Chains A and B, each alone.
Chain A
Amino acid sequence: MTVPASSVVGLQGRLLKQVVGPDRHIVNSLIARLLLTIVLSVSSISVLAAIDAYSFPDDNLRERYNSLIDELRCPQCLNTNLAGSDSMISKDLRREVHRLVLEGKSDDEVRDFMQQRYGDFILYKPQVKASTYVLWFGPVVLFFIAVAVMVKLLARRRDPSHKNVLTEVEQNRLDQLLSK
């Protein structure tokens, strides 16, 4: 994160043009301080982010590392991924993901490594297997049931024999109520 020095100076210069008179020096130093603060705070953010930054021989590995720590779940936290957690176990697991990726392991091998140790919990995207069929296919099944029910209801609405469906008893009761 770098702000080109020329643009800082340019901005400062443009701001200063609007200030004239004895206040100019005070304002000048205030703006300089403000800009310095902004530049320093921005640059310190990049330093913080670099503490955990691993080196990668190529961008492909870096992208795979980033997507893996994005999709693996921190085992200690209930709803944070490895990328977003500051816990010790997440740091250790990020280091392991980095090591495995550099060793040439495929994404699936990294997922298996984690799954063998931490179980399904660590996978935000669960594997398709007998115990997760309900999870994966339940919504599809529910959708088709909903469609079937809807089709049936619409068909019934169009069916003329279902109009005026009150039985004789019901009709009598209705008439009785309406006449009160």
Chain B
Amino acid sequence: MSSVNKSLLIPLAVFLVLVVTLGVGFSLKNPHILPSELIDRPFPEFVAAELHDPNRKVTREDLKGQVSMVNVWATWCPNCVIEHPELVRISREEGIPLYGVNYNDDVDKAQAWLRRYENPFVLNIVDDNGKLGIDLGVYGAPETFIVDAQGVIQYKHVGAVTRDIFETEMKPVIEQLRANQSVMRTAEAGS
């Protein structure tokens, strides 16, 4: 049967191309995880109170100077409790400042929550109306950002931070940023 009309195979080929395209397209990524638009953009401007010091006004200038992590959390967020021990560990062992954004929450509840679960944060930005959250493109807590020394967002993770995610995804980013920073410092010192 070598004389099969080859043009008959075209629909089959088209169908296979469709199957492969759609198959790859739909399985590539979790549709719940949105790509962040904020990567490589400066941390949004904000002026907000500090959770434990309402008179203090925190701005994005407070985040600059060294590589840091910004964690968006809330007392109503179940995954925040799950990831909290890892945040505490990072704050103790990794030598990176952790800034909290207390998102759409109540100050009293948030303070009690941190007393109960331990406070890993250098400071906590009160975002009680979700305004900073919107500027950060947050659509559900917890979300964690890595911000470089110049205050530019370099990485975002949606969902709980686990030991595995920290080691495989976040730590390499942090180390890379620190390396860049020290290169820049030497360049400045040399000039």
Complex interface: chain B residues within 8 A of A51 (CB): none
| Min CB gap A115→B, angstroms | 7
Number of residues from B at the complex interface, CB < 8 A: 19
**Partner-contacting stretch, out of B51-59, B79-87, B92-100, B135-143:** B135-143
- How many residue pairs, one in A and one in B, have C-beta atoms under 8 Å apart? 43
Q: Is B152 an interface residue (CB 8 A)?
A: no
| Chain B contacts with A in 36-79, Cβ cutoff 8 A | 36-38
| Min CB gap B139→A, angstroms | 4
Q: Is B159 an interface residue (CB 8 A)?
A: no
- The dominant DSSP class at the B interface is loop
Q: Is B151 an interface residue (CB 8 A)?
A: no
Complex interface: chain A residues within 8 A of B36 (CB): 119
Complex interface: chain A residues within 8 A of B133 (CB): 89, 92
Q: How large is the interface on A (under 10, 10 to 19, 20 to 34, 35 or more residues)?
A: 10 to 19
Complex interface: chain B residues within 8 A of A169 (CB): 3
| Min CB gap A130→B, angstroms | 16
Chain A residue with minimal CB distance to B133? A92
Contact with A along B141-157 (1 / 0, CB 8 A): 00000000000000000
Residues of B within 8 A of A (CB): 3, 31-32, 34-38, 104, 129-130, 133-140
